Amino acid sequence: MEPTGEMYNSCSVFPYVRKDKEGNVTAEKWRAYFSYKDEDGKRKQKTVTLKTEGHGKGRGGKPSAKMQNMAMIEAEAIRQQLNEQAEQAPENHETVAEYFGKYVEERANSIERSSANELRRILKSYIAPSIGKIELDELTPDDVAAWVTKLSKKYSPSTVKKCLTNLRSAMRQAVDRDRLVKDPTRGVKNPQQAHRNPNALDAKGRAKVAQFIALDPDKPLNVGFALAMYMGLREGEICGLTWKCVDLDEGTVSIERTIGRDGSKWYVKEPKTGGSRRELYAPSIIADMLTARLANAKAECLELGVPFDENMYVTGGADGSFMQPHYLSHRWRIAADALELIGTEGNRPTFHDLRHTFATAAVTAGTDIKTVASMMGHANAAMTLNIYASADREAKKRGAAVVEQAYMADVAQHAKDGSVIELNRTGTED
């Protein structure tokens, strides 16, 4: 294309292919290259991957003229859009960090404080030091891919995934608002995460914890441990549980609040998802512990000369304060060390592993996945299935035996009516 008086004064298109790890072609794409001069007069080039797919078959194996023409038409439309944006905001040199910062503050009005602060941390710790200084219009998929690779060498796959997911969300917003022509995170994949089985307690470990809890059943810490192992509650849900949400007559516990963290401050908040808000039936051991704990809590209030309030926290103090989740986890680590507990994955179980223990035991006992998901407060059964469905080896053995028995029963039944095919030694019909 001939140069014009516009900022993006020329463009060209070239074919390329995408291949998988085995070298197989997965897509035939086109790239457009737009030439322009920056404010210092230096010639630069902007690359955009086009939507046009397929190369066609021209002479000598070259892409067909028809497909190239389609790519040029799309490239020209993008060139015009780029020039329109340049005319509307000729002095706009907003960086990735600046745009992401605006994105965060806009979202902060509609998300939890802790979530907003997490986005600010991602900006400060992961985006700003690396790709933050790149102008938003200049950020390319190659830049993003290099950034992901760099992060992956230092941080866990889950951390890198979180960073890329949030950057992608911001960039897609920029496209929707015509701030960008193309999403620069397109085609950049999350790092692969190795599947980890839950580090749940086995039967011996569960017995140790059950005996430990029974020694002092009305103790707030032991009630917290029991709510995790017997009902699968999260530490924040346990610490946020009030007496108002406990119905001893019906034997139910309702999860309506949780304890969140904003920097160094803990605060009461709504459950993260609708699924997390749920009503659970308490097993008899939990009902007995809660009954004992309630009597103890009322006695504490009487001793201090303060009226008992149903809005007081089950594991909290008579002054109306709640137990901080990190304290619950800390005291569990001490208990786990004293009991010499080892999880099914060979590691010392964390407090969250008590929740894993509950779910694994429920699945192993034959509780259907949807019910377990509901009890756990998962958004969907797929999450539960992915984590727990194959966690127990003995359950796998029993499953294999059940299938074998079913097949043998089929053979026995149909052998009677002569419908089973008689096979010779080669495995074919006689």
Q: Is residue 184 part of a domain?
A: no
Match 């499953």 to its residue by tokens. Answer: 399
Write the CATH number for 303.
1.10.443.10
Regarding whether 329 and 212 lie in a shared domain, the answer is yes
Mean pLDDT of the chain: 86
> Which residue range is the domain that position 246 belongs to?
203-388
Helix (H, G, I), strand (E, B) or coil at 226: helix
Are 152 and 191 within 8 A, CB to CB?
yes
Are 235 and 350 within one domain? yes
Among 88-92, 138-142, 353-357, the least confident range: 88-92
Instruction: Please tell me the distance from the alpha carbon of residue 83 to that of residue 80, in angstroms, as a whole number.
Output: 5
Q: Is 198 within a domain? A: no
Cα 16 to Cα 33, 66, 185, 200: the distances in Å are 13, 16, 19, 49
Average pLDDT over residues 217-237: 95
Within-domain flag for 22: yes
> Which of 88, 104, 127 is the last residue in one of the domains?
88
Residue 188 lies in a domain: no
pLDDT score, position 92: 61
Co-location of 82 and 106 in the same domain: no
pLDDT value for 280 = 94
Q: Which two tokens stand for residue 343?
A: 């999880």
pLDDT tens digits, residue range 50-92? 888 888 877 767 888 889 999 999 999 988 888 887 776 545 6
* 179 vs 315, more confident: 315
Last residue of a domain, one of 46, 61, 88: 88
Query: Is residue 210 located within the same domain as residue 298?
Result: yes
Same domain, 239 and 356: yes
Q: Measuring CA to CA, which residue among 264, 221, 220, 260 is closest to residue 237?
A: 260
Q: Is residue 149 part of a domain?
A: yes
Does one domain contain both 135 and 259? no
260-282 tens-digit pLDDT: 887 778 989 888 777 789 999 99
Q: Terminus-to-terminus CA distance in the chain, angstroms?
A: 74
Same domain, yes or no: 317 and 209: yes
Decide: 67 and 52 in contact? Cβ < 8 Å.
yes
At a CB cut-off of 8 Å and minimum separation 6, what does 81 contact?
A: 181
For the stretch 279-333, pLDDT in tens is 999 999 999 999 999 999 999 999 999 999 999 999 999 999 999 999 999 999 9
Compute the average pLDDT of residues 198-206. 91
pLDDT of residue 392: 55
Least confident of 20-34, 94-108, 277-291: 20-34
Q: Which of 176, 194, 228 is the last residue of a domain?
A: 176
> Residues 217, 312: one domain?
yes
CA–CA distance, 409 with 188 (Å, rounded to integer): 51
Residue 190 in any domain: the answer is no
* pLDDT at position 299: 95
- 83 CB-near residues (< 8 Å, 6+ apart): 6, 7, 8
- Look at residue 288 and tell me if it is in a domain: yes
348 and 331 Cβ atoms separated by less than 8 Å: no
Strands 25-37 and 10-19: antiparallel
Domain with residue 153: its CATH number is 1.10.150.130
Domain total for the chain? 4
Q: Looking at the structure, tell me whether residues 105 and 31 fall in a common domain.
A: no
Cα-atom radius of gyration of the chain, to the nearest Å? 30
In a domain, 401, yes or no: yes
Domain co-membership, 53 together with 129? no
CB 130 within 8 A of CB 150: yes
Which pLDDT belongs to residue 418? 60
> Collapsing DSSP states into helix, strand and coil, what is residue 206?
helix
CA 259 to CA 356: how far, in whole Å? 20
Helix (H) or strand (E) holding 99: helix 96-107
Residues 6+ apart with CB under 8 A from 105: none
**Do 47 and 124 reside in the same domain of the chain?**
no
Q: Do 164 and 233 sit in the same domain of this protein?
A: no
What pTM was estimated for this model as a whole?
0.62
- Of the candidates 82, 113, 111, which has an alpha carbon nearest to the alpha carbon of residue 169? 111
pLDDT average, residue stretch 123-128: 96
